[in-house]
Amino acid sequence: MLDLRKRNFTKAELVQMLSEEDPEELDILFDTARTIREDVQGDKIFAYGFVYFTTFCKNNCNFCYYRKSNNIERYRKTPEEILATSKELIDSGVNLIDLTMGEDPEYRREEFNTVADIIRTIKKEYDTPVMISPGVVEKHIIDKLAEAGADWYALYQETHNRELFKKLRVGQDYDERMNAKLYAKERGMYIEEGLLAGIGESSQDIADSLLTMGQMGAKQVRVMSFVPQEGSPMESCQTPDRTEELKIIALMRILYPHALIPASLDVDGIGGLKDRIRAGANLITSIIPPRSGFMGVAQNTMDVDEGGRTVEEARNILSEMGLRIASKEEYKRFIRE
Ligand code: SAM
Ligand code: MD0
Ligand code: SF4
């Protein structure tokens, strides 16, 4: 095994580590990543509330349940419902609200004014950081969202292999997607970049992505294992073995010690939390209040109404690991550093 603490890995070295299968070597990889996280932030783990407020979408991503051609029940929540759920999440102890949407033409028609109002309320009245995940939007909309006070713009490329991108995000432009987040960064927002694991990528592709994420200046970086969706073109593709996702989390932590790296509850529910935190993740995402009528993305209902995707449940699991959920103030300090 290579010297894991050196940080300036070549692409070939990353590929070598991604191909590692020896359980003892993998334990060393995860232990190193975890120790780096502990050195940076001690026993604190951050937590984001997830508010998927419209499931209408004009796009046809092959991996997604909410793609336009999928004949499913959809919802578009009212501003009152969005704010009530955000408030509930904040009161339960999340550090940030992630306002996520399908590319719903209805919001484009009204120039995102409602979304900007919601951001302003969460920022001013609830004094809580906001991430916006609106898909690709035009520059003047990014300006509007930044001016409303959005701290983060999340937009995942899924892969940095252009051929693979074309197959996944059918009919969408690679550069347009990349440039939207680079523009958001220019406008002073933090950006999140993300990968899908198990969609036909090679180890070289992943190594490229790991390096690209750093070059772009993404402060939050994620990987999610692909989960097959009923009615979608990739319905019968297999979900990958989770070791790949865990290795990628660990490598992201080693490469980028200060990055926010999610353990998403949207892949394996609350049951998947421990392994991801053990691999070096420092942030729990996809916390959704039970019986709120709001959904997840990759796992649209798993553990939600059962109360599994709550701060309380996460807190219990973290405490068994000697960890705790950070306060909002601790989170704000961390992102300013
Ligand atoms: N519609 C916006 C967009 O695509 O950027 C924002 C929300 S989108 C639903 C958020 C992310 O969920 C996607 O970028 C993708 O990484 C992830 N996702 C969607 N379907 C998934 C699946 N079947 N398995 C795993 N992750 C998935
Ligand atoms: C998550 N389900 O954090 C959410 C989603 C969008 N910004 C995030 C993929 O796992
Ligand atoms: Fe729409 Fe986003 Fe799903 Fe693609 S990933 S179909 S843009 S909701």
Q: Nearest C-alpha to atom 8 of ligand 3 is from which residue?
A: 102
The atom of ligand 3 lying closest to the CA of 67 is 6
Residues contacting ligand 1 via CB (< 6 Å): 63-64, 100, 102-103, 133, 135, 155-156, 158, 194, 196, 224, 226-227, 229, 297-298
pLDDT of residue 7: 75
Ligand nearest to the CA of 135: 1
Q: How far apart are CA 165 and CA 98, in angstroms?
A: 24
Q: 283: which strand partners?
A: 46, 262
Query: Does the predicted interface ipTM exceed a cut of 0.90?
Result: yes
The closest alpha carbon to 115, from 51, 196, 161, 23, belongs to: 51
Q: What CATH fold (topology level) applies to the domain 11-336?
A: TIM Barrel (3.20.20)
DSSP class of residue 219 equals S
pLDDT of residue 3: 81
Residues contacting ligand 3 via CB (< 6 Å): 57, 59, 61, 64, 66-67, 102-103, 135
In sequence order, the 6+-apart residues with CB closer than 8 A to the CB of 106 are 54, 56, 76
Ligand nearest to the CA of 192: 2
pLDDT of residue 4: 85
Reported as a single tens digit per residue, the pLDDT across 208-257 is 999 999 999 999 999 999 999 999 999 999 999 999 999 999 999 999 99
Choice from 74, 297, 300, 302 to test ligand 1 binding pocket (greatest atom count within 8 A of CB): 297
Percent of the chain with pLDDT over 70: 100
- Band (1; pLDDT cuts 50, 70, 90): low
Reported as a single tens digit per residue, the pLDDT across 266-297 is 999 999 999 999 999 999 999 999 999 999 99
Reported as a single tens digit per residue, the pLDDT across 176-217 is 999 999 999 999 999 999 999 999 999 999 999 999 999 999
In sequence order, the 6+-apart residues with CB closer than 8 A to the CB of 129 are 95, 96, 97, 123, 151, 152, 328, 331, 332, 335
- Band (6; pLDDT cuts 50, 70, 90): confident
Give me the residue label for tokens 């009212």. Answer: 78
Cβ–ligand 2 distance for 165 under 6 Å, the answer no
In the chain, where the domains are located: 11-336
Q: How far apart are CA 61 and CA 71, in angstroms?
A: 14
The closest alpha carbon to 281, from 254, 244, 309, 243, belongs to: 254
Q: What is the mean pLDDT of the chain?
A: 97
Question: In terms of DSSP bridges, do strands 44-54 and 190-197 run parallel, antiparallel, or are they unpaired?
Answer: unpaired
Reported as a single tens digit per residue, the pLDDT across 96-106 is 999 999 999 99
Given a cut of 90, whether residue 141 has pLDDT beyond it is yes
Cβ–ligand 2 distance for 272 under 6 Å, the answer no
Mean pLDDT, to the nearest integer, of 298-323? 98
CA of 22 from ligand 1 middle (Å) equals: 31
